[in-house]
């Protein structure tokens, strides 16, 4: 009977320890990534939406639209001025609302998804401000030297960088094809972006020669989130049941049951404590950003790429920090519970030995009296 008890105890211990370790990491993973206060709160705390709308998008737009030898004929200074006049705070609020809607659907909080970003005000801003901006830009240019004017007239793809002799702002705009460029931008620029559970719809489409893609789907993500959320609870119940069984196996030896449960709790706390403590003490934001920079091959000097990298790094580091901090706290709780149970078993053992000794002494005294 003792052999069977020991075999059952060893098997349960072998199962419970890794399951408890898995639970600690899975529980904190879900509590961080599937909890909108933690996840969306981290994005807001790192000023994600403001950074995207004020730093990243303007740089992308300027690099894409600004004129050059092989680009559209709108000077970078003009695009920069126009972009700087866009209401970025309103765009940041739209982006935050959209991300929140998508997140709530993907995590199963919402059952439907159809969220829209209205880009029409920003398209209108481009339409109304680009040409006036170019006229102001041209009016403030220095007069061309004869060499500059000759170089411009002899080339078909040079951009205007000085005031041409006898050429007004309107004529310069015609030479640069500003009206046509603006018209092309207005026609091709999306007016709305609609996100549903199965599609991201640009209106008008980004590529008119191809239909909207239907490969995008959040439904699988939602189903996974809904399945994972209660899984940690079931895992905890299973572990609790096995711990109870481990304790009952040792009855009527109450103290041995406590020691077995304590040993499991202490053993299961060691790996999570070591991993979480190592991360919290040795992994810094700089460690992660160097890793991401190498992995994503981000080149120095690319300001918006560096900003994107910094934003990704900040959010991932803060989320990982919350996960490992939770693991560390729960690991300490397990360790403390194990120590308490060990101490309780030790005290009970001591009392049992004292009671046994007193009983033995009383028995010896009674035998002596009878003799």
Residues 18 and 136 in one domain: no
Strand order from edge to edge, sheet including 192-196: 114-118, 192-196, 200-203
Last residue of a domain, one of 189, 214, 248: 189
Please give the pLDDT value at position 71: 47
Give me the pLDDT at residue 70, please: 44
pLDDT of residue 266: 94
Beta strands, E only, 88-247: 114-118, 192-196, 200-203
Do residues 9 and 256 make contact, with C-beta atoms less than 8 angstroms apart?
Answer: no
Give Cβ neighbours of residue 58 (< 8 Å, ≥ 6 apart).
80, 83, 84, 86, 88
Residues 85 and 169 in one domain: yes
- What local confidence, expressed as pLDDT, does residue 270 receive? 94
Domain presence at residue 201: no
Q: What is the mean pLDDT of each run of 10 residues along the chain (371 residues)?
A: 77 92 94 93 93 86 63 72 84 92 92 89 85 89 87 73 87 85 84 88 74 68 88 92 90 86 93 94 79 62 74 91 95 94 86 68 66 58
Please check whether residues 272 and 356 belong to one and the same domain: yes
How many other CB atoms are found less than 10 A from the CB of residue 79?
Answer: 24
Largest CA distance in the chain: 138
- Structural domain that includes position 85: 48-106+120-189
Give the domain-ending residue among 189, 217, 249: 189
pTM as predicted: 0.81
Report how far residue 289's alpha carbon sits from residue 64's, in angstroms, rounded to the nearest whole number.
26
Looking at the structure, tell me whether residues 260 and 289 fall in a common domain.
yes
State the CB neighbour count (10 A cutoff) for residue 48: 21
Which residue, of 136, 161, 189, is where some domain finishes? 189
Residues in contact with 117: Cβ distance below 8 Å, sequence separation at least 6, in sequence order: 94, 95, 98, 192, 193, 194
* Residue 270 sits in the same domain as residue 184: no
> Which residues have a Cβ under 8 Å from the Cβ of 19 and sit 6 or more positions away?
235, 238, 239, 242
CB 34 within 8 A of CB 229: yes
Q: Which residues pair with 200 in a beta bridge?
A: 195
The whole-number pLDDT of residue 292 equals 64
């Amino acid at each position: 009977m003792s052999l069977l008890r020991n075999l059952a105890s060893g098997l349960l211990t072998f199962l419970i320890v890794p399951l408890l370790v898995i639970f600690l990491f899975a529980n904190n993973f879900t509590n961080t990534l599937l909890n909108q206060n933690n996840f969306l709160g981290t994005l807001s705390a790192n000023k994600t939406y403001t950074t995207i709308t004020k730093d990243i998008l303007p740089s992308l737009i300027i690099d894409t639209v600004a004129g050059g030898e092989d680009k559209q004929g709108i000077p970078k200074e003009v695009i920069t001025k126009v972009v700087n006049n866009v209401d970025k705070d309103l765009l940041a609020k739209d982006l935050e609302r959209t991300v929140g809607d998508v997140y709530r659907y993907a995590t199963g909080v919402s059952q439907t998804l159809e969220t829209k970003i209205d880009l029409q005000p920003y398209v209108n801003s481009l339409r109304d401000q680009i040409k006036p901006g170019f006229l102001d830009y041209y009016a403030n240019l220095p007069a061309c030297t004869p060499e500059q004017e000759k170089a411009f007239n002899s080339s078909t793809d040079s951009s205007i960088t000085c005031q041409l002799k006898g050429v007004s702002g309107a004529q310069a705009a015609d030479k640069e094809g500003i009206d046509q460029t603006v018209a092309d931008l207005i026609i091709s620029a999306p007016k709305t972006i609609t996100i549903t559970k199965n599609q991201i719809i640009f209106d008008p489409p980004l590529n008119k020669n191809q239909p909207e893609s239907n490969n995008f789907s959040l439904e699988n993500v939602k189903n996974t989130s809904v399945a994972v959320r209660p899984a940690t609870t079931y895992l905890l119940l299973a572990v609790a049941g096995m711990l109870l069984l481990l304790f009952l196996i040792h009855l009527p030896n109450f103290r041995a049951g406590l020691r077995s449960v304590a040993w499991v709790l202490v053993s299961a706390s060691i790996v999570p404590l070591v991993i979480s403590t190592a991360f919290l003490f040795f992994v810094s934001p700089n460690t992660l950003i160097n890793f991401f920079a190498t992995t994503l091959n981000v080149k120095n000097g690319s300001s918006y790429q560096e900003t994107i990298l910094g934003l990704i790094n900040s959010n991932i580091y803060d989320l990982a920090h919350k996960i490992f901090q939770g693991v560390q706290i729960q690991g300490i709780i397990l360790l403390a519970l194990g120590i308490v149970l060990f101490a309780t078993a030790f005290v009970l053992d001591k009392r049992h030995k004292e009671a046994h000794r007193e009983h033995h002494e009383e028995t010896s005294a009674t035998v002596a009296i009878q003799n």
